[in-house]
A and B are shown apart, each in its own frame.
Chain A
Amino acid sequence: MSLAVTSSPIFSRDGLSFIFKSTWNPVKEDYGILPALLGTLITSALAISISTPLAISLAVFSAEIIPTRFRGLINNISDLMASLPSVIYGLWGLYVLAPILYQHVMNPLHQYLGFIPLFSTKPIPTNLFTAGVLLAIMIVPFASSVIREAYNAVPYYLKEAAYSLGMTKWEAIKTLLGYIKSAIFAGMFLALGRAMGETMAVAMVVGNTFTFPRSLFDMGYTISSLIANQFPNAEAYNYMIPALYGGAFLLFIVGLIINIVGLYWIKKVMIKS
C-alpha cells in the first residue's frame, strides 16, 4: 500500500513510460526503471538455474551419502552460510569471486563462445554474470535446507520399499526426489525471493551501470541495488524517492506474479502425481 502511495508521483508524471525507459538521470530528474528490472530478472534467473541442481545435490549428499557423524557438521555449516550477512558475501564476491570468475570462466567463455549473444560482451570482473553466480552461492544453503528437511521427512517405509524392489541407491534417490517435488519447488521459490531482494551483495558486484543489458557479461543494475545506491541522497531530489519506491513496487508485483505462477504450477504437479 505505502509503496503504491509513495510511488504515485512518478507514475502520475511519467505513466507507464517509467517502466519502459532506460535512463537514470537525476540532473534532469528523468527516471526509467527497465534496465534495473531486467537486471533483477536476469541475475535471479541465472542464480536459480545454477543453484537448483547444487541445492538438490547438497541436500541428497548430506541426507544420504556422507557418514552419519559428519552430517551434523555439514548441515550446521550450510545453515551458518545461509545466515551470513550479505555484505560479507558482497566483499568476498568483489575481492575473491569476481577475479576468479573473470580469469577462469568469463574470459574463456568469451574467447571461445563469443559468437553466442549471451557471451558476446568483452567481460569485466563485475557484471550481471558475477552477480548471478554470487547469488547462486548465497541461496544454495537456503534452498538445500528446505529440501533436506523434506527429504528426511519422507516416510521410512517408502525408502525401504524402494530398496526391497531391488533399486540401486541412485534409482532410490531419484524416486524419493520425485516424491518431494513440491518441497523442491517451494525451496527454490523461497530462494528466488531472496535472490530478487538481495541488495548489498549484488550492489558490490553487478557493475552498477544504468544500461540496457545485451549479454550476460554486460554490467547492469538490479532494483534493490539501485535502491541501496541511490536512497541515501534521494531526498535531495523531487522525484527520486517516488522513482525508487516505484521500482520497489514493480519488484513487489513481479515477485507476486512469479509466486502465483509458481503456486499454480506446484498445484498442477501435485495433482498429476
Chain B
Amino acid sequence: MKTGTKLIIIAAVAIVVLISVFVASSWQTSTIIQTTTPTQPTTHMLSGSIDGAGATFLNPQMQAWASKFYEITGGRIKINYQSIGSGAGQAKFREGILDFAGSDPPLKSDIYNEFKGKGGIIQFPVIIGTIVIVHNIPTVESEKLKLTGEVVAKIYLGEIMYWDDPAIKALNPELNLPHEKIIAVHRSDGSGTTRVFTAYLAKVSQDWKSKVGSDFTVAWPVDQLGNGVGGKGNEGVSAAVQQNLYSIGYVETAYAYEVGLKTALIQNKDGNYVLPTKEAVESASKALVRILPKADEDWSNIFPDETVDPPGKDSYPITSFSFVILRQAYDNPVKVAILKEFFQWVLTEGQKNENIVVGYDPLPPEVAMIGLEGLKLLKTV
C-alpha cells in the first residue's frame, strides 16, 4: 500500500510538471505573436468582461482574438469563450446566461422569431472555414482525384460502391482506379461540418435532398450497407480514413493538412475542379455577397442551404461561415460598449492575416460589412 501511495504521488507530481511546462511554453509562443503588432487601444475608459460560448469550430480563432484583444486593450477587456458546441451555445444564449453565442449555423427560424418578439437579435459571420474531401487510395496521389458533388452524394447514398465505377472513371480517365469497395467515413457526433456538407450534397443531388436531407447528424444510407464508418470529431474521421484503405471522408481543411490526408479536387458550379485555396474561398464568398441577408434578418433559409456551391469560375463549393449571435438590447451599457468594440475590432483588424489562425480564411470586406452594420443596432434598454 505504501508503494502505492508513493506511486500515485509521483504520478501526480509528474502530471503537474507536465502541465506547467505545457502552459509555460504556450504562454511564451502567444506573447511572441502578440508583441509583433502593437496596436493603439481605441477607448481608454472601458473595462470589464463578456461571456460567450458555442461552436467548437470557432474556438481556436476566438481564443486567439480574445487574447490579442486583451493585449491591445492593456488587459481592460476580457472575452471569455467556451467551446461547448453550437447547439448548446444557442440554448444557453436563449436562456440568457451568455452575452453572445458562437455558432456554425445561424438561428433556426422559430427561435429567430421568438427573439424577434423579445427585442431582436443580430447574427453575422465572423470567419470562413472550408470542408475538403479526403481519400485513402494508395495508387492515387493527393490533389489528383477529381469528383463531382453528384458522385460524392451517390457514394454516401451507397449507389456507387466501387472506386472503378464508370462514373468515377469518366471523371478520372488518367488514374489507375482499383476495383475496391469504397468505405465512406462520416462524423458520428452532431456537427456543423456535417450540416454544411450535407447541405452541399442536398444542393447538388435531388436524391440526397429527398432521401436524407441536411442536419448536424443524418441517417447515412451507406451505413445500412455496412460500408459506412462514423468517426467522432475531425480526429475520428481522419483516423478512420487513414486506417481504412479505399476510404473517403470529409474534414475541415485545416485538419486534413495537419494530418497529411490525401485531398480530392471537387467540381464547382462552373464546371472547374478546385481545391480550397485562398483564391477559391475568396471567389466563393464574393459570389455570395449579394444573396446574404442583413444582420438582423432571418438567415436560416440562406445559410448553409443557399450558400454552398456558389457560382464563379474559381469558387470552392463547400465553404462555410461561423456566426456570432448577439441580442439587440442589453441592460448593461458597459456590455454594449464592450461588445461593440470587440466585434468591430474582430471584423476589421481581426480579419488581417496576422490575426487569423492557420486553417481559417478571413472574411472579404463586403461580408464583414454585414456585421459592422449590424453592430450599429446594439443598444441599452
Where the two chains meet, the residues of A that have a C-beta atom closer than 8 Å to any C-beta of B are 23-28, 72-73, 75-76, 79-80, 94-95, 98-99, 102, 121, 124-126, 203-204, 207-211, 218-219, 228-230, 232-237
Contacts and interface: CB of A to CB of B under 8 A. Distances in A.
A124 B244 contact: yes
Given A76-B4, A228-B232, A126 B190 contact: no
19 contacts: A26-B215, A72-B3, A95-B239, A99-B243, A121-B226, A207-B229, A208-B236, A219-B223, A219-B226, A228-B189, A229-B188, A229-B190, A229-B230, A232-B87, A232-B190, A233-B85, A233-B86, A233-B217, A235-B90
A264 B217 CA distance: 42
A236 B230 contact: no
B232 A229 contact: yes
A37 B216 CA distance: 22
Contacts of A23: 219
A31 to B, nearest CB: 10
Contact of B188 (A26, A208, A234, A237): A208
What are the nearest 4 A-B pairs in CB distance? A208-B230, A233-B190, A208-B188, A232-B85
A76 B223 contact: no
A214 to B, nearest CB: 8
A79 B4 contact: yes
Interface residues of B, number: 40
B9 interface: no
Given A76-B3, A235-B88, 5 more contacts: A208-B188, A209-B188, A211-B224, A236-B90, A237-B87
Given A26-B190, A208-B229, A234 B219 contact: no
Nearest to B224: A211
Interface in B186-217: 188-191, 212-217
A76 B7 contact: yes
A211 B223 contact: yes
Contact of B189 (A72, A99, A229): A229
B248 interface: no
B108 A204 contact: no
Contact of B191 (A95, A233, A234): A233
B219 A24 contact: yes
Given A27-B215, A94-B239, A126 B189 contact: no
